[in-house]
Structure 1
Amino acid sequence: MLDPQDRRLLLRLQKDSRLSNQQLADEVGMSASACWRRVDSLEKSGVIARYTALVDREQAGFAMSAILHVALERHDQTFVTQFVARVKKRPEVLECFATTGDADYHLRVVVSDMAAYNRFLDDFMFKIPGLRHVRTNVILKEIKYEVALPF
């Protein structure tokens, strides 16, 4: 269980993980050595999984994003394993969730434009064996996009 100091550290690191240890310690109100020990412990325990850079997809040339609802024809382990392995290799797929309901999986896909999306479907999605259907919801506008947990 995380204590309030760990939560403050995590909240601040989620906003800017490039802070120096001293800056982080000052902002959360602890000594630099205590801050370093806590962050080190959070990293070693796996609470902090990794550090990344958030990229503005439109500024980087990925103007189109969509949510795909994917249903498999069969839930045989072979089909599931192949589907998951193939999806993990595709850079256009930012997220993939196994879900309940009509779709077995929901994917968030980003591409440069509609032509690139059609190529993604034709050259990749529709060639995966065992798919029953793929439905697309094009994202018109991102209303809220959070990558941080609400500590």
Structure 2
Amino acid sequence: MNAHLDRYDLRILDELQKDARLTNNELSERIALSPSQCSRRRSRLEEDGFIRGYQAKLDRQKLGLDLLIVISVTLSTHNRDNAQKFARLVRSLPEVLEAYALTGEMDYHLKVAVRGLQDLSRFVNDVLLPHESVMHVKTSIVLDELKGFEGYGLTA
């Protein structure tokens, strides 16, 4: 754990992961600090980059994004220019929820959400495969999400 975080900081971060809409009064009740102390600590955690932002968790299926796919990508050549071209492509695609550069057999794993099989086909065949940086694409449709990201386990 970072030496700059004490148990109150960790508790603030933990509570905000559960509900980022907590007021300083509500937060102070949960962690037994005054609202002014919570406010100062929250501001410091934001300024120091421990809290990067706040956002609502949306239900992708209610938004019509019924398919969740993990796509493994191998680049055509392994050089900085090609990797940068692929990174620019990935960052421009709203379907890509997360993207990771990897060691091992595949170069990248993408977590992608689309409306259905037609959108998946279009995404793979019309966007990924024709791109000059891509050599190979392997798709796996997610059948069931056993555990989604709900925050880091923080303990004081």
- TM-score band by shorter chain is over 0.9
Q: What SS does the aligned partner of 1:124 have?
A: helix
Q: Choose from 20, 24, 27 the match for 2:23.
A: 20
Instruction: Give the equivalent residue in structure 1 for 2:120.
Output: 117
RMSD: 0.9
Instruction: Give the equivalent residue in structure 2 for 1:105.
Output: 108
1:37-116 matches, cutoff 5 A: 37-116=40-119
Q: Choose from 3, 12, 37 the match for 1:34.
A: 37
Give the Cα separation in 1 of the matches to 2:91 and 2:76: 20
1:43: how far off? 0.2
Q: What are structure 2's unaligned runs of at least 5 residues?
A: none
Q: What are structure 1's unaligned runs of at least 5 residues?
A: none
TM-score, normalisation: structure 1: 0.97
Give the Cα separation in 2 of the matches to 1:22 and 1:53: 21
Instruction: Give the equivalent residue in structure 1 for 2:130.
Output: 127
1:116: how far off? 0.7
Q: What SS does the aligned partner of 1:74 have?
A: coil
| 1:78-98 alpha-carbon deviations (Å, 9 max, x no partner) | 111110001001000000000
> How many residue pairs were aligned?
151
1:76: how far off? 1.6
Q: What SS does the aligned partner of 1:66 have?
A: strand
